[in-house]
Structure 1
Amino acid sequence: MSRRLAALGAVSALLALSMSVVSPASPHGRSKARVVARLRNVDGCVVAVVKMQRGGGGKLFVRAFARHIEPAGEFHGFHVHTTGECDPESIDPATGEVVPFFSAGGHFNPDENAHGGHSGDFPVLLVNDDGTAWARFKTDRFRISELFDEDGSAVIIHTGRDNYANIPPTTPTGEERYHSHLEDVFGPDSITLATGDAGSRFACGVVRR
């Protein structure tokens, strides 16, 4: 298959997934059966579509397709974040510096669990060498209605991989292993427990009905 045909196929898949969210609103105010997030990079280009649909057994069925993700050929952190605002020029108030999509807040984590156990933690996204990625999975960690609080929610693809805070402090025989010099602790430090060290935010999309 030529690269041109592959690129056309990727665009078609992205459009098809984007257009497949068709559930009508409920007259009783219940959340819709399907919601979607269209993720844009800092240049404003749509690079991913994530669809979430209520399924059986209290689970949500999640489908995602992405293209033009960088770096290609790598795993990328993939999460629901707490705030439905995707400002590519947002400011981190702690530093006064521009941090793209900082406005989306941290990982969706209403139960205040350590990372790996956040409600918004998704499986890492494996990006192919051509910058495309597919994902299909189920989660029972949250309900659609929880994503529509007063400030909404967003889906983020990060530039780096997510280690899910799997940083063992010792070997099986009890010898010291990984040490954070930043906080002088063995095992995951507070940054790892919050983010999984997934790096900066490559793309962001507000979750919409």
Structure 2
Amino acid sequence: MPDSDNGLPTTDEMPGPDEGVFPSMMTATASIIGSEGTEIGTANFLDGPNGEMIRVELNSGSLTPGWHGIHLHGTGTCEDVGVFKASGGHHGKIEGAHGLLNPKGPEAGDLPNIWVAEDGSAGYEAFTRLTALDSLLDEDGSALIIHEAEDDHMTQPIGGAGARVACGVIQ
């Protein structure tokens, strides 16, 4: 049954495989906080046999409408609320290779942009073969970062996506 605010089904409402069908699949979650330090949404991660499924749900009023860059970052912290620089650079950083369209890349943390609706909410699902959940859950962890603007998938180092406006520690 769709969420009445945005018409999209919630993670709990989505059908999944029968229990035991994919017994080796790891899962993780992230509570996403905005620049004010309050929770604005969630991210869920499912490690499949050929890559990583990522689903993000943002509450109404969370972010400005339009396209936003979204990346996986190499350190699992959001402690510096409002700037989120402590999460480090992109997961799997390759100097000069940022971007899904970059012939030298992409980096493991590169993802397609997320679209935020007029009411500030978003529903997002992306699949990536560039990383696996066990590498995101390494010793220093990883974070999901949403930027203030669209990623052009080429410009170095972050596709022109601007400041970090939301962060979630992947656990």
State TM-score, norm by structure 2. Answer: 0.78
TM-score of the superposed pair, with normalisation by structure 1: 0.65
Establish whether residue 158 from structure 1 lines up as the match of residue 141 from structure 2: no
Cα distance in 2 for partners of 1:103, 1:136 equals 25
Instruction: For 1:56-71, list aligned pairs within 5 A.
Output: 56=49, 58-67=50-59, 68-71=61-64
Aligned CA distance change for structure 1 residues 111 and 143 (closer, same or farther; 3 Å): farther
Select which of 23, 27, 40 maps to 1:47: 40
The answer as to 2:28 corresponding to 1:35 is yes
Number of aligned residue pairs: 153
Structure 1 pair 135–195 and aligned structure 2 pair: CA distance change class (3 A): same
Where do residues 1-209 of structure 1 align in structure 2 (5 Å cutoff)?
Answer: 6=5, 13=10, 16=12, 33-56=26-49, 58-67=50-59, 68-72=61-65, 74-89=66-81, 100-112=83-95, 114-116=97-99, 117-165=106-154, 192-208=155-171
RMSD over aligned Cα atoms: 2.6
Structure 1 outlier segments of 4+, above 3 Å: 110-113
Distance 1:76 1:110 in 2: 20
Cα deviations across residues 88-125 of structure 1 (Å, max 9, x unaligned)? 35xxxxxxxxx610101111125556111111111100
Select the structure of larger CA radius of gyration: 1
- Which structure shows the bigger proportion of residues in helix conformation? 1
Q: 1:152-204 CA distances to partner (integer Å, 9 max, x unpaired)? A: 11001111110111xxxxxxxxxxxxxxxxxxxxxxxxxx3211111111110
Q: Which ranges in structure 2 are unaligned for 5 or more consecutive residues?
A: 100-105
Distance 2:156 2:94 in 1: 14
Q: In structure 2, do the counterparts of structure 1 residues 6 and 148 end up closer, same or farther at CA, with 3 Å as the change threshold? A: closer
* Percent of aligned pairs sharing the same letter: 32
Asked if the contact 1:40/1:204 (under 8 Å) is kept, the reply is: yes
Map Cα deviations across residues 19-60 of structure 1 (whole Å, 9 max, x no partner).
Answer: x9xx9xxxxxxx97101111101222111211111223x221
Partner amino acid for 2:44?
Answer: K
